[in-house]
Amino acid sequence: MAATVAVPVHAPEPIQVPALAWVASAIGVVVLYVMLQENGALLQQSWTYVHELFHDGRHALGVPCH
C-alpha cells in the first residue's frame, strides 16, 4: 500500500505590473483605435496623408474598411 504525503499548497504571489507598462498599454490601445477608426474626423489638417497611412495599415491588419 502506498503512503499519502500531504504537500502544502502555496498561493501564487500577485504579479506587480509597473505603472509605465499600464501607460504604454493605454497609449497602444488609443493608437490602435485611432488607426482602425480614423476617417478624417480627428486629423483634418493632414487628412489625406494620415488617411492613406491608416488605410494601408487597416488593410495590413486585415480590417475591412470599404
Which amino acid, one-letter code, is at 54? F
Q: Quick check: is 28 in a domain?
A: no
Of the candidates 41, 61, 60, 62, the one whose C-alpha atom is nearest the C-alpha of residue 51 is: 41
Q: Quick check: is 14 in a domain?
A: no
What pLDDT is attached to residue 55? Answer: 76
Domain span holding position 44: 38-66
What pLDDT is attached to residue 54? Answer: 73
Q: Quick check: is 43 in a domain?
A: yes
Task: Mark the ranges of the chain whose per-residue pLDDT is less than 70.
Answer: 1-2, 35-47, 65-66
